[in-house]
Chain A
Amino acid sequence: MFGYVRPMRPELKCKDLDLYQATYCGLCRCLRRRYGLIAPMLLNFDFTFLALLLWEPEERFTPCPGRCHGNPLRKRPMCPDSPALELAADESVVLAWWKLRDSVQDSGLWRGLPARALGWLLKPAYQKAARRCPGFDGTARDSLAELAALEREGCACLDRAADPFARLLQAAAPADGERGRVLGQLLYHLGRWIYLADGQDDLEEDRLAGRYNPVSARYGPDGDKAALALTMDHSLAQMGAALQLGEFGCRGPLLENIVYLGLPMVQGAVLDGSWSRMKKQKIWGKKQ
Chain B
Amino acid sequence: MRDPYSVLGVSQNASDEEVKKAYRELARKYHPDNYQNNPLSDLAEEKMKEINEAYDTITKQRSGGYSRSSGGYGGGYQGNYSSGPSNPIYARARAMINAGDLQGAERLLYEAGQKDGEWYFLSGSIAYRKGWMDEAMRNYSIAVQMDPGNMEYQQALAVMRQGRMGGYQPAGYGSSAQCDPCTTYLCCSCLTPWGGPCC
Contact A234:B38 (CB < 8 A) given known A157-B135, A166-B131, A244-B30: no
The listed residue (A218, A233, A236, A241) touching B40 by CB distance below 8 A is A241
Kindly state whether residue B43 has any CB partner on chain A within 8 Å.
yes
The listed residue (B47, B127, B137, B160) touching A245 by CB distance below 8 A is B47
| Interchain CB contact under 8 A, B167 and A240 | yes
Q: How large is the interface on A (under 10, 10 to 19, 20 to 34, 35 or more residues)?
A: 20 to 34
User: Mostly helix, strand, loop or mixed at chain B's interface?
Assistant: helix
Q: Which of B56-64, B110-118, B168-176 contacts A (4 or more CB under 8 A)?
A: B168-176
| Interchain CB contact under 8 A, A234 and B170 | no
Kindly state whether residue A94 has any CB partner on chain B within 8 Å.
no
| Interchain CB contact under 8 A, A182 and B166 | no
Q: Which residues of B contact A158 (CB under 8 A)?
A: 134-135
| Interchain CB contact under 8 A, A242 and B40 | yes
Number of A-B pairs, beta carbon distance below 8 Å? 83
Kindly state whether residue A82 has any CB partner on chain B within 8 Å.
no
Q: Which residues of A contact B30 (CB under 8 A)?
A: 244
Q: Which residues of B contact A157 (CB under 8 A)?
A: 134-135
Q: Which of A38-46, A95-103, A185-193, A271-279 contacts B (4 or more CB under 8 A)?
A: A185-193
Query: A189's closest neighbor in chain B, by CB?
Result: B131
* CA gap between A192 and B39 in the complex, in Å: 16
| Interchain CB contact under 8 A, B137 and A231 | yes
Q: Which of B156-189 contact A (CB under 8 A)?
A: 160-161, 163-170, 173
Kindly state whether residue A148 has any CB partner on chain B within 8 Å.
no
* CA gap between A234 and B134 in the complex, in Å: 9
Kindly state whether residue A59 has any CB partner on chain B within 8 Å.
no
Q: Which residues of B contact A80 (CB under 8 A)?
A: none
Kindly state whether residue B10 has any CB partner on chain A within 8 Å.
no
Q: Which residues of B contact A261 (CB under 8 A)?
A: 173
Kindly state whether residue A256 has any CB partner on chain B within 8 Å.
yes
B105 to A: closest C-beta gap in Å: 17
* CA gap between A242 and B168 in the complex, in Å: 11
* CA gap between A233 and B164 in the complex, in Å: 5
Q: Which residues of B contact A237 (CB under 8 A)?
A: 163-164, 166-167
Known: A159-B133, A235-B131. 6 other contacts (CB 8 A): A157-B135, A159-B134, A163-B132, A181-B40, A185-B131, A257-B173
List 9 tightest A-B contacts by C-beta distance, closest first: A159-B132, A233-B163, A233-B164, A234-B133, A260-B173, A237-B167, A158-B134, A231-B134, A159-B135
Using a CB–CB distance below 8 Å, which chain B residues touch chain A? 29-30, 34-35, 38-40, 43-44, 47, 127, 130-135, 137, 160-161, 163-170, 173
